[in-house]
C-alpha cells in the first residue's frame, strides 16, 4: 500500500501526478520598481525562468515565467514586467497593458505589489483600476513590499496598511521580497486558495477562482523546532505514541513533503517537516545554524511552533536561550505564528542536590522569553521529560490552546463594547492625546488581526498601539499570540 492522505473526500496522492501545466498561475502586478522581479526571484529561487523577449520599438521587455516554490506550494508565477506608465497622464500605455492583459487571461490569481516605503503612488491607483477592469474574476492579494525598511515599527506599518486598504483589494500583507519577511503570511493567504483551485481542477469542476475559502477547516499544523540534541525526536515519538501514521505527499506538491499526523482528543494534528528527521541518525544531525534554516521552512508551514530547549544546558549556562533559539523564536512571532516553548530533560534536574537548579530553570526561561520577545506577552512554557514520556498532555494542551486563540474571531459588537470600556478605564495625561477611535473590528484570524477606524486625520502612535494590544491580550486571554492592529481613517 502506498501512502494515502485524505483531504475532504479526495485522495491527494493523485496530486503528485498533476502536470505542471495544470498548476495554478499567479501573476505579479504593480508599477515599476515596487519589487516584482525581486519577489519573482525569491519565489523561483535558483530554478530556471523562461524569459519571453518581446521586441517593442527600441526596448526589449522581459516577460518571465517560472515554477514558484513557497513552502510546499507549487504554482506558476508570471512577472508582468511592469505596467508601463505614460509619465504625463499617469495612465497605462497600451503596449505593455496589452501584454499584461494576455498574461492575466492565463492567470487565476494576482499578487498586487506596492512599495510601502514610497507610500501610495497615483500609479498604484491606476494599476488597481486597470486590474479591476481587466481582471474582475481574478482573486487578488495585495502586498506591501519593502516593509523591512519601516524600522519605526508597528505604527508606520499600521498606517500604511490603512492607506493601502483604499485600493479596494482588502487588507494588505506586509512582506519584504529582499529579506523574506512575511513569506509565511503570503503562504497562509495563498495556500487555501491554491488548494481549493487544485481540488476543482482535479474534479473537472473548475469555476472561477474565488477568494472565499473556509480556512478554519484546515487541521492544526505543528512544527517542532530547536537545536540538535535537545530532544525533538524523543518528544515526537512521545507525541505520536502508537498513533503514528505516515502520510503521503501534500496537495499538489512534491514527494519530499511527507508528513506525520496523530490524533489528540479528537483532533488531527499534522507534524510539519518531521517525517524526514524521524528516521535520521545521529551523525546526520547538522550544526545549530542548520537548525535555524530548517526551522525557517517549518515555521512557514506551521500554525503553532513548539520550540524545544534543553533544561540541563540552561541550568549550566548564564542565559537560558542560545542565539539560534532566540532567532527561531523571534522568527515564529514575526511570521505571526503561535509559539509554545518546551523545556525538555527536566528529569536531569531532579533530586535534592539539584532542587535549586530546577527552580532556577523554571524561573529563568519565562523571564528570558519575555525579554527577547517583548511584543508578545504570556508565551506558554512547558517543562517536560520526553525521555520518561512525561508532558505529552501538557504540551498538547498548550499547543491546542494556542491554536484556538490564534484562530479566534471576536464580533464587532463585542469589540466595540470592549473598546468603550478600555478607553474610559485608561486616563490620558493630555485629553487631546487620546486617540479618536470610532470603532474597532477584527478583519482576519490566524493570527487575529484588527483594524481601528479613526476619525479625521488622527493616527495611532506606537504607544497607543501597545496599549490596545496589551488590553486585547488581557481582556480576551490572547497571551502568547502575535496579534496585529492596523489603522484606517474615516471621514
Ligand atoms: P520591479 O520593477 O517591480 O520588478 O522592481 P524590482 O524587483 O526591480 O525592484 C526595484 C528596486 O527595489 C530594486 O532596487 C530592488 O533591490 C528594490 N527592492 C525590491 N524588493 C525590496 C524589498 O523588499 N526591500 C527593499 N528595501 N528593497 C527592495
Ligand atoms: P534531537 O536532535 O533534538 O531530535 O534530540 P534527540 O531526541 O535525538 O535527543 C538527544 C539526546 O537527548 C538523546 O540521547 C536522548 O535520549 C536524550 N533525551 C531526549 N529527551 C530527554 C529527556 O527528557 N531527558 C533526558 N535525560 N534525556 C533526553
Integer Cα distance of 112 and 125 in angstroms:
11
pLDDT tens for the chain, 491 residues long, are: 333 333 222 333 333 344 566 788 899 999 888 999 899 999 988 655 554 444 444 343 456 788 888 877 888 898 876 555 554 455 566 656 666 677 777 888 999 999 999 999 988 998 898 888 877 778 999 999 999 988 666 678 888 888 898 898 988 999 999 999 999 889 888 887 887 776 666 555 545 455 655 555 567 889 999 888 898 888 887 887 654 444 444 443 333 444 577 778 778 788 886 655 554 444 455 566 666 777 777 888 889 999 999 999 998 887 778 888 999 999 999 889 999 999 999 999 887 677 788 888 999 999 999 999 988 888 999 999 998 988 888 999 999 999 989 988 888 888 999 999 888 887 777 777 777 888 888 888 888 999 888 887 678 888 888 889 989 998 998 988 999 898 888 76
Measured from the CB, is residue 390 less than 6 Å from ligand 2?
Answer: no
Q: Could you tell me the distance, in angstroms and rounded to a whole number, from the CA of residue 83 to the centre of ligand 1?
A: 15
Integer Cα distance of 60 and 99 in angstroms:
13
Best residue among 229, 328, 383 to mutate for probing ligand 2's pocket (most ligand atoms within 8 Å of CB) is 229
For strands 73-79 and 10-11, give the pairing: unpaired
pLDDT in tens, 277-320: 554 444 455 566 666 777 777 888 889 999 999 999 998 887 77
| Cell numbers 522581479: residue | 37
Instruction: Calculate the CA dihedral of residues 18, 21, 25, 28 and round it to 10 degrees.
Output: 130
- Record the pTM: 0.68
Measured from the CB, is residue 344 less than 6 Å from ligand 2?
Answer: yes
Other Cβ atoms within 10 Å of 119 Cβ, number: 12
SS3 255: coil
- Angle, helices 392-406 vs 232-240, to 10°: value is 90
Q: Could you tell me the distance, in angstroms and rounded to a whole number, from the CA of residue 378 to the centre of ligand 2?
A: 27
For strands 259-264 and 267-271, give the pairing: antiparallel
Q: How many CA atoms lie within 13 A of 459 on its CB side?
A: 12
For strands 220-225 and 267-271, give the pairing: parallel
| Closest Cα to atom 14 of ligand 1 | 33
Best residue among 27, 30, 33 to mutate for probing ligand 1's pocket (most ligand atoms within 8 Å of CB) is 33
Residue 473 CB partners (closer than 8 Å, separation 6+): 377, 378, 479, 481, 483
Integer Cα distance of 166 and 164 in angstroms:
5
Predicted local confidence at residue 53, as pLDDT? 45
Q: Could you tell me the distance, in angstroms and rounded to a whole number, from the CA of residue 144 to the centre of ligand 2?
A: 42
Best residue among 36, 37, 38, 157 to mutate for probing ligand 1's pocket (most ligand atoms within 8 Å of CB) is 38
- Angle, helices 122-134 vs 94-105, to 10°: value is 50
Predicted local confidence at residue 283, as pLDDT? 42
Measured from the CB, is residue 442 less than 6 Å from ligand 2?
Answer: no
Q: Could you tell me the distance, in angstroms and rounded to a whole number, from the CA of residue 49 to the centre of ligand 1?
A: 18
SS3 136: coil
Other Cβ atoms within 10 Å of 177 Cβ, number: 25
Burial 210-238 (b: 16+ CB within 10 A, else e): eeebeeeebebbbbbbbbbebbbbbbbeb
Integer Cα distance of 53 and 36 in angstroms:
17
ipTM metric:
0.69
Q: Could you tell me the distance, in angstroms and rounded to a whole number, from the CA of residue 84 to the centre of ligand 1?
A: 16
Measured from the CB, is residue 312 less than 6 Å from ligand 2?
Answer: no
pLDDT in tens, 92-109: 666 566 666 777 778 889
| Cell of residue 434, nine digits | 487620546
Pick from 461, 473, 418: nearest CA to 436:
461
Other Cβ atoms within 10 Å of 104 Cβ, number: 21
| Closest Cα to atom 17 of ligand 1 | 35
Integer Cα distance of 272 and 52 in angstroms:
37
Measured from the CB, is residue 38 less than 6 Å from ligand 1?
Answer: yes
Burial 337-375 (b: 16+ CB within 10 A, else e): bbbbbbbbbbebbeeeeeeebbeebeebbbebbeeebee
| Closest Cα to atom 11 of ligand 2 | 229
Q: Could you tell me the distance, in angstroms and rounded to a whole number, from the CA of residue 266 to the centre of ligand 2?
A: 28
Measured from the CB, is residue 227 less than 6 Å from ligand 2?
Answer: no
DSSP string for residues in 25-54: EEEEE-STTSSHHHHHHHHHTTS--EEEEE
Amino acid at each position: 500500500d502506498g501512502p494515502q492522505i485524505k483531504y475532504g473526500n479526495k485522495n491527494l496522492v493523485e496530486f503528485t501526478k498533476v502536470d505542471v501545466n495544470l498548476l495554478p498561475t499567479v501573476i505579479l502586478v504593480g508599477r515599476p520598481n515596487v519589487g516584482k522581479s525581486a519577489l519573482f526571484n525569491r519565489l523561483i529561487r535558483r530554478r530556471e525562468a523562461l524569459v519571453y523577449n518581446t521586441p517593442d520599438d527600441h526596448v526589449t521587455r522581459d516577460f518571465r515565467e517560472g515554477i514558484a516554490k513557497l513552502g510546499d506550494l507549487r504554482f506558476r508565477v508570471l512577472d508582468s514586467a511592469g505596467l508601463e506608465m505614460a509619465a504625463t497622464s499617469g495612465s497605462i500605455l497600451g503596449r505593455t497593458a496589452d501584454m499584461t492583459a494576455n498574461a492575466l487571461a492565463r492567470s487565476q490569481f494576482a499578487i498586487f505589489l506596492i512599495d510601502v516605503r514610497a507610500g501610495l503612488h497615483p500609479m498604484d491607483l491606476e494599476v488597481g483600476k486597470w486590474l479591476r477592469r481587466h481582471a474582475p474574476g481574478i482573486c487578488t492579494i495585495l502586498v506591501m513590499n519593502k516593509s523591512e525598511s519601516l524600522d519605526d515599527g508597528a505604527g508606520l506599518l499600521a498606517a500604511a496598511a490603512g492607506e493601502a486598504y483604499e485600493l479596494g483589494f482588502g487588507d494588505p500583507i506586509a512582506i519584504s521580497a529582499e529579506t523574506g519577511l512575511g513569506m509565511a503570511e503570503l503562504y497562509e493567504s495563498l495556500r487555501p486558495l491554491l488548494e481549493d483551485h487544485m481540488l476543482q481542477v482535479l474534479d473537472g469542476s473548475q469555476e472561477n477562482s474565488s477568494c472565499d475559502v473556509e480556512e478554519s477547516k484546515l487541521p492544526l499544523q505543528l512544527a517542532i523546532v530547536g537545536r540538535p540534541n535537545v530532544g525533538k525526536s524523543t518528544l515526537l515519538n512521545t507525541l505520536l505514541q502508537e498513533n503514528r501514521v505516515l502520510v503521503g505527499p501534500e496537495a499538489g506538491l512534491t514527494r519530499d513533503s511527507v508528513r506525520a499526523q496523530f490524533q489528540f482528543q479528537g483532533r488531527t494534528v499534522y507534524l510539519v517537516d518531521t517525517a524526514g528527521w524521524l528516521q535520521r541518525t545521529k551523525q546526520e544531525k547538522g550544526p545549530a545554524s542548520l537548525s535555524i534554516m530548517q526551522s525557517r521552512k517549518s515555521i512557514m508551514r506551521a500554525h503553532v511552533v513548539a520550540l524545544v530547549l534543553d533544561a540541563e544546558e540552561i541550568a549550566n549556562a548564564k542565559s537560558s536561550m542560545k542565539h539560534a533559539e532566540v532567532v527561531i523564536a523571534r522568527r515564529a512571532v514575526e511570521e505571526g505564528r503561535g509559539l509554545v516553548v518546551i523545556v525538555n530533560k527536566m528529569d536531569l534536574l531532579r533530586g535534592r542536590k539539584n532542587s535549586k537548579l530546577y527552580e532556577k530553570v523554571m524561573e529563568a526561561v519565562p523571564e528570558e522569553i519575555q525579554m527577547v520577545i517583548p511584543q508578545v506577552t504570556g508565551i506558554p512554557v512547558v517543562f517536560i521529560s520526553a525521555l520518561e514520556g512525561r508532558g505529552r498532555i501538557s504540551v498538547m494542551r498548550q499547543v491546542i490552546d494556542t491554536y484556538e486563540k490564534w484562530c479566534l474571531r471576536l464580533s464587532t459588537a463585542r469589540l466595540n463594547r470592549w473598546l468603550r470600556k478600555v478607553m474610559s478605564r485608561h486616563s490620558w495625561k493630555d485629553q487631546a492625546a487620546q486617540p479618536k477611535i470610532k470603532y474597532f473590528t477584527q478583519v482576519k484570524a490566524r493570527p487575529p488581526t484588527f483594524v481601528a477606524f479613526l476619525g479625521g486625520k488622527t493616527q495611532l502612535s506606537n504607544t497607543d498601539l501597545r496599549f490596545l494590544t496589551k488590553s486585547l491580550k488581557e481582556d480576551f486571554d490572547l497571551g502568547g499570540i502575535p496579534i496585529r492592529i492596523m489603522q484606517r481613517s474615516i471621514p
